[in-house]
Structure 1
């Protein structure tokens, strides 16, 4: 009964959670925060970070001595000997038993005192790897924020495009209905009426296409957030004013300098160089001697002894301590090769940093130019939209009075639709690129 109650509670909690998810109104901030918590790639990177922390602990533990206990037990049978002598520790034992048992027990310690600072360099390398893993997490977080912002703005664009297409369909339907009246009056031909009907069908098709595009963008957003694809996602879409579109862009140079100091991919490339330097030092340690200290304590027992087990452990007890020095003389060029490879890797990391800086500058420059061009295009599109709207209104009125033909009306209508699409395209391109530009400048993503 208790298990059934627990199961019911779990199912109810799960159902309430799903219901809350369906009813939730998602803002851009909500999407980003949820992705930072649930995204699988980000969680995998966090696991890698935890693994790197364990590597640091392991590298530190290598500074301490190792301690192990060993024991061995043997049964010896001598079928053709009447008697035999064995050595148990320092005791010589004679026995007329054909089968004897012996045991040994040992406690061993090993401590590397010095090996060319390899262990210290390894600790530094593992700490650097941990920092790189942290930066990888930050880099993935930035990537998620950029992708979500891009999808969110694409959804804004698709949503406004749907509104434009709905308005276009309404105008086309009203025009077609008016054309039917003109056809009955004999003012236009059947071919003109059929052309307007075809235009209405085409506009309805464009509306369906824009709605499908919006659903696709939402699907991509849900996948990025690891949400159930079958559940509807309700978004809170902010209103973007003209003043927001035409906000002043930050200085390209200032953005680049800030990004150089803050972006995780640049910091990670610099840490790769530090790691490569440590790798060279570790490789050079192959030429250095290794000094080790060892110690052990052990004892043995034998079933043939006249002493009891305790006495045998006491009399067989021996202690040992030793110091060893290992000096490499010839190692088939292994150390030299390791040093050469480490230096080549160091050169590679320097080139990787230069490449990362160039890619960062290229990205920021592209964002700046695209944002600037989009703002200029937006201003031009606003002017074009006003003139196209005025022209279409005049031609539409004249068509209703029978003064303009179908071709002239459809031409002005298509010009108006094109101007509307150009305006919203420039609008959201400007918003997207300026938002990402501000993000590279160290600001949070917001609309």
Structure 2
């Protein structure tokens, strides 16, 4: 009996696990942001740019190291050749083997290698800032899309509530028409109102689906049909950041935001490019070293006999010849630039232009940041006023609708006018929801410039 209970219990847990696995788990805002930061294509490209910058630094470090190259060759000479032993021209086949090692190192080149290394460090820093900015932008976009989904969800509920109310009103109207209390025209108006409400529900559901699809595509999800967000009820509140003066928020943004850091880093990199270009005006000193050896497979003269003929013997062993014929060469090479087709002067001129562009870009980045911060503050305060006004309007529309219901019950208002009052009340509810999420997002943008992470306090 216990075994049967255990089997049934185990089967139930298994079926429950399969059922839970098959259902799509609702995503929270933090899960959406974290997933986007790990899987977004633009972020992956920025990460590859960072890796490329790190490889460029290795190139800059490699410029300080000596170049070392080995070489070896083996050749056959067939036909009429000079016999290196006798000095005579003979038809013969000779073989030669040679090997060598060469190295050179830059001792001084106008500090170009030093400045290239410093520039590569700045490039890595700039790539890191670019990656951070990309993550911030993706996080903001995800938060905006997520809040849009939540707004559409609440809007669907409002439209469904209106439909349910109008359906109840339609049922009451049918009873009043049957009793002869009101005219049949009121019933037709009520039926038309219910039909219009159903269309609004369908439109709201379609808008909700499209907003989910947009968020799923932003997250690079393949299974967007089963994607859904977790239900959340964010309550707007007065952000302490809005109590700060605009100048304080701008100053904080200049410290925190990576846009200015990118501009400053690019300016410093342009200054290093100019130094590299100017370094080409200076002389360069290079040290070099070479080692070589060779071997021949020809007979050797070891003496002369009594008749004056050469006494020949075979070649020495390969390694003995390598040891006997080895040689070294080393020294310093000085190169002084005199005329190179204006290439150096043109490179310096281009670097100066790039430097000026970087200065302008930095100034523009500062102006853009100030404008964006002031715009964000203005938008957030405007959104707060709109939200408060929408709440006031909702309260008024609610009272008007309740008053219209009382008048309709005593026959002082027809169903069309009642439907109009309810429509205005529903629109006021939708406007409160819209302004609420609009305020939440715009406040988040201001806090974002103030250095508060996107998903915090949300």
After TM superposition, is the score higher than 0.5?
A: yes
Structure 1 residue corresponding to 2:82, chosen from 84, 89, 114: 84
Distance 1:341 1:124 in 2: 19
1:133 is aligned to 127
Larger CA deviation: 124-133 vs 400-409: 400-409
CA-CA distance at 1:273 after TM superposition: 0.4
2:94 is aligned to 100
| Higher Cα radius of gyration | 2
Alignment of 1:268-287 (within 5 A): 268-287=262-281
2:160 is aligned to 166
Structure 2 residue corresponding to 1:233, chosen from 227, 242, 253: 227
Distance 1:264 1:19 in 2: 42
2:373 is aligned to 364
Q: 1:380/1:114 Cα in 2 relative to 1: closer, same or farther (>3 Å)? A: same
Alignment of 1:179-258 (within 5 A): 179-241=173-235, 244-248=236-240, 249-251=242-244, 252-258=246-252
Report if aligned partners of 2:190, 2:416 keep a CA contact under 8 Å in 1: no
CA-CA distance at 1:77 after TM superposition: 1.0
Q: 1:93/1:426 Cα in 2 relative to 1: closer, same or farther (>3 Å)? A: farther
**Structure 2 gap ranges (5+):** 1-16, 300-314
Report if aligned partners of 2:50, 2:128 keep a CA contact under 8 Å in 1: yes
SS in 2 for 1:123: helix
1:321 is aligned to 330
CA-CA distance at 1:97 after TM superposition: 5.6
Report if aligned partners of 1:223, 1:229 keep a CA contact under 8 Å in 2: no
CA-CA distance at 1:234 after TM superposition: 3.8
Distance 2:285 2:167 in 1: 92
CA-CA distance at 1:167 after TM superposition: 0.9
Q: TM-score, structure 2 length as denominator? A: 0.87
SS in 1 for 2:110: coil
1:115 is aligned to 109
1:383 is aligned to 392
Report if aligned partners of 1:42, 1:137 keep a CA contact under 8 Å in 2: yes
Over aligned residues, Cα RMSD in angstroms? 2.3
Provide Cα deviations, 1:141-162, integer angstroms capped at 9, x if missing partner: 1011111111121122111111
Provide Cα deviations, 1:352-385, integer angstroms capped at 9, x if missing partner: 1122222222222222111111111222211211
Q: 1:156/1:245 Cα in 2 relative to 1: closer, same or farther (>3 Å)? A: farther
Distance 1:316 1:438 in 2: 77
Structure 1 residue corresponding to 2:414, chosen from 396, 400, 405: 405
CA-CA distance at 1:21 after TM superposition: 9.0
2:308 is aligned to none
Q: 1:374/1:439 Cα in 2 relative to 1: closer, same or farther (>3 Å)? A: same
Distance 1:434 1:156 in 2: 17
Distance 2:379 2:206 in 1: 27
Provide Cα deviations, 1:41-62, integer angstroms capped at 9, x if missing partner: 2122112212211211221121
Larger CA deviation: 42-51 vs 259-268: 42-51
Structure 2 residue corresponding to 1:260, chosen from 254, 261, 264: 254
Q: TM-score, structure 1 length as denominator? A: 0.89
Name the count of aligned residue pairs: 423
Q: 1:93/1:133 Cα in 2 relative to 1: closer, same or farther (>3 Å)? A: farther
SS in 1 for 2:338: coil
CA-CA distance at 1:122 after TM superposition: 0.5
Provide Cα deviations, 1:379-428, integer angstroms capped at 9, x if missing partner: 22112111111111121232233321233223212221221122112111
